[in-house]
Structure 1
Amino acid sequence: MMLKLKIKLFFLLFVYVAIANAQTNTYKFKREITGINTIWHSMKLPDELYKNANAGFEDLRIFGVNGKDTTEVPYLLKQRADKINTQGISFKQLNQSANPNGYFYTFQSPEVSSINQIDLSFKQTNFDWRVTLEGSNDNKEWYSVLKNYRILSIKNNNTDYQFTKLSFPDSKYQYFRIAVKSDIQPELLEAKIAKTDTIKGTYQIVAYKSYHLFNDSETKESIITVDLKNPVPLSYLKLNVQSDFDFYRSFKIEYATDSFKTEKGIQYNYAQLFDGTISSLEKLEFNFPNTIASRLKIIIHNNDNKPLRLTGLVLKGNLYELVARFDNVGANYALYYGNEKATSPSYEIEKFESKIPLNLTSASIGSEQKNPAYSVKIEKPLFENKAWLWILMAIIIALLGWFSFKMLKN
């Protein structure tokens, strides 16, 4: 009787293990999750995870094991990027005037409004002017907001560049007056006045192994290659450039998608990440969609100009974190990944995100380990099996013998 009971218990345990493994056996890697003491938790993805997880994170799964039960944990993948909100402010142009000090444009708002940005548009396509911005609440007494601010527009066969956006600290006035110092009459087409608010995201500085600058005299380009220590999210680049003169040059940022060996060494395939202009008038800081990368290539088009001097660069990336609901606090949880054929999960909590608590306790994701349950059956070609080869040879010999017999008989 005891023997039968032990056999039965062993069989049930085997069935439970088989069911649990069936849910996790397609994932190559796992990481234990600790610190689960309530229903909702947030978890920062470790940097070392990105090299083995799918680029789009379709393969991330959280499973919890509690005795005989294995459950999948629903989660949301969050990216803590900057959130920028721009609100247009209603202003009407009151008048336009001129004196020996410049050309003046006055704008009025129906009520006292706080603004920090004015985007100007002129009919001229080539100019280099200085601008002064003032504010007033009675259209009589004026207070300085910007002094000697440079705006620029250059359009030719090689360049199409404009810097005509006035940015300044929040200023709250009913009237604003723009003075343009120019030798010719500026033809102002439009002035978009706005208030821009930025909710800062969560960034981490990304360490890189090295960077290499090569000035190609034939293509008239400066090519900067940057090798990172690990594949990590990137969304921000700052270039530290020194120059004895003003400059404006088109450039682009690319990231390596894969690599291959050649006689000349390892070569890379690249995809474009960002395309824009670097200028001495603007901060050399650039934001782009968060992208997992391990190598960057920055190409600056110098045309016939002297190459710029690069003294360094700064890379940052937005953090990824999981917000998950753990219905059974007492279970053992782990994060699984490493399944190239996985598709993105669909969880109901995505539709009820507003009900998730704002202040979440952080849980910890442990070190990477190979998933012992991983067992993907690799189908070998039929003719790699020796038994099938012998059977095929026997059939061919039998057919040849039968045809030979028929020929001899005839």
Structure 2
Amino acid sequence: MIGKTTLFSFLMLLIWQYCVADIGNPRFSRPVLLPDTTSQTLLAIILDEPIYAASQTDFADLRLLDQDQQETPYLLKKIATSKTVTQRLSSVIDSQSLQKSGENGIVVTLSLDKNAAFANGLTINTQQRNFDYSLQIMGSSDGNAWHVLVDKATIYDYSRYMAVSNRDISLPDNQDQFLKIIVAEATQSRNSQMLELTRTLQAGEEQQRQEKQQLQVEPLHIEGIEAWHNQASTQAEAAQAFPYSLSNFTISQNSEQKTSVIEIDSKRQPLTGFKLDINTANFSRHAEVQIAQPGVQAPIQVIGTAQLQALHFQEINQLQTELTFPEQRQTHFRLVIHNQDNPALEISSISAIGHAYQLLFLPQAGKQYQLYYGAEKMTRPVYDTASIEELLERGYQTTSVSLGAETALIPSKQKLNMSSILESSWFLGGVIGLMVLVLMWSLFRIVKRLGNLPE
């Protein structure tokens, strides 16, 4: 019995090793047509209908290999509109000093940290109100040779009139580690809010009145100075919508349910909606999009609904014939229009819209690449894409490349997959049958031993 158990375990181990040795083979490949350039580029392969038709739903089977059959990391992204966002970041000031210039002027000298980014601007921090000062900004790369960056910059605060102020000074592009802020007139005079009144009285009557208002001299008081630089980054916004062709569609009428049923065949593109061309003039109908769910209790799933409607009367022209839904890659959709007791709509054509995907990668000099896809069961690869993502964030543009003709690959001998074996009815039946045989053999041995016992 022990020998049979050992043999059975050994056979199961062989089956396990056989099953996990392979995860599938791609069915198709296409060469990447690289641009004729020697400069570094970020390349983008836009996936097309043959790839959508043959690839896995999550694109886990896509592999980019070079001529040595080495995998090349890639980043798969939806094609989306983007916007440039500018952030103001601090440029660290290492030291600063102040000197008087002339009777009322001052000169502030700043030295940026040697590792700091060059400044795109300065901010003069002061708590003062109601002022207007003119400044000159000079720059130097070594602290000796100076040149003018901004000749006449103005900081101001007009709080006595309105909440309007500016304490920022924008600088042109430069490579200056040292900056000078020159304020030729660092004081300003303004009338005092106190009024001196002198009255001359005689016999209780005012003979003379004098009013004097003092001028108040106020120096510029700087609490601190900030240097900053601008850093632009590109952020993706909404995914773009692209038109897609449909394989075929058929329309039938269900008189019992009072519905129009449209069966739509697609090529597994990443669709997000359908648009109907309807010749009927005026209508309003509820419609829904359905997909099949094999292997579940509710085989039909509604993925989108809409109210199709049109109103054309005199100057009124209203039309809404689109149905949208979350992205789906299916071979078949069903569109149901509820007519109730109304005549069926006259539908002339149906078009599809959806997302598009691109595969981004950094090519190596002297390498040629092939894109492989179409394997039935492959796990999604985990690549290091930090460099690609940073280039995109910095706003670097991609270069689109095309793919060559599709080549059907000869599949190698497929080895069994463990999950397929475990889910197979033959395997389950065999296991149950084996257990029954073992149980019957055990019962037979027990009965035989009982029969040999002395009475």
TM-score w.r.t. length of structure 1: 0.51
Distance of aligned partners of 1:309 and 1:83 in 2 relative to their CA distance in 1, 3 Å threshold:
farther
For 1:200 and 1:257, how far apart are their aligned partners in 2? 27
Partner of 1:250: 286
Sequence identity percentage: 17
Query: Shift of residue 200 of structure 1?
Result: 9.4
Query: Shift of residue 298 of structure 1?
Result: 1.5
Per the alignment, in what secondary structure is the counterpart of residue 231 of structure 1? coil
Asked whether the equivalents of residues 259 and 337 of structure 2 are also in contact (C-alpha less than 8 Å), the reply is: yes
Higher strand proportion (structure 1 or 2): 1
Asked whether the equivalents of residues 272 and 326 of structure 2 are also in contact (C-alpha less than 8 Å), the reply is: yes
Per the alignment, in what secondary structure is the counterpart of residue 251 of structure 2? strand
Distance of aligned partners of 1:377 and 1:207 in 2 relative to their CA distance in 1, 3 Å threshold:
closer
Whether 1:320 aligns to 2:320 is no
Asked whether the equivalents of residues 26 and 374 of structure 1 are also in contact (C-alpha less than 8 Å), the reply is: no
1:309 to 332, 337, 346: 346
Query: Shift of residue 253 of structure 1?
Result: 1.8
Give the structure with higher Rg (CA): 2
For 1:235 and 1:248, how far apart are their aligned partners in 2? 22
Q: State the one-letter code of the partner of 1:224.
A: I
Partner of 1:203: 242
CA RMSD after TM alignment: 4.3
For 1:83 and 1:357, how far apart are their aligned partners in 2? 12
Distance of aligned partners of 1:362 and 1:322 in 2 relative to their CA distance in 1, 3 Å threshold:
same
Whether 1:404 aligns to 2:448 is yes
Whether 1:272 aligns to 2:309 is no
Per the alignment, in what secondary structure is the counterpart of residue 282 of structure 1? strand
Partner of 2:229: none
1:330 to 346, 367, 390: 367
Q: Aligned ranges for residues 207-226 of structure 1 at < 5 Å? A: 207-214=246-253, 216-226=254-264
For 2:352 and 2:440, how far apart are their aligned partners in 1? 66
Query: Structure 2: which 5+ runs fail to align?
Result: 1-19, 84-236, 311-317, 422-426
Question: Residues 280-328 of structure 1: CA distance to partner in whole angstroms, max 9, x if unpaired?
Answer: 1224234444421222222222334333222222223433321222335
Q: State the one-letter code of the partner of 2:43.
A: H
Whether 1:40 aligns to 2:38 is no
Distance of aligned partners of 1:64 and 1:355 in 2 relative to their CA distance in 1, 3 Å threshold:
farther
Partner of 1:297: 334
Whether 1:60 aligns to 2:99 is no
Matched positions, count: 260
Per the alignment, in what secondary structure is the counterpart of residue 55 of structure 1? coil
Distance of aligned partners of 1:297 and 1:315 in 2 relative to their CA distance in 1, 3 Å threshold:
same
For 2:244 and 2:450, how far apart are their aligned partners in 1? 82
Question: Residues 221-276 of structure 1: CA distance to partner in whole angstroms, max 9, x if unpaired?
Answer: 22222234x333323422121234x322221122345599xxxxxxx943333212
For 2:273 and 2:357, how far apart are their aligned partners in 1? 15
For 1:277 and 1:394, how far apart are their aligned partners in 2? 64
Partner of 2:151: none
Query: Shift of residue 31 of structure 1?
Result: 1.0
Q: Aligned ranges for residues 363-374 of structure 1 at < 5 Å? A: 363-364=402-403, 366-370=405-409, 372=411
Partner of 1:232: 269
For 1:403 and 1:200, how far apart are their aligned partners in 2? 73
Q: State the one-letter code of the partner of 2:79.
A: R
Distance of aligned partners of 1:83 and 1:276 in 2 relative to their CA distance in 1, 3 Å threshold:
farther
Distance of aligned partners of 1:404 and 1:368 in 2 relative to their CA distance in 1, 3 Å threshold:
same
Asked whether the equivalents of residues 305 and 324 of structure 2 are also in contact (C-alpha less than 8 Å), the reply is: no
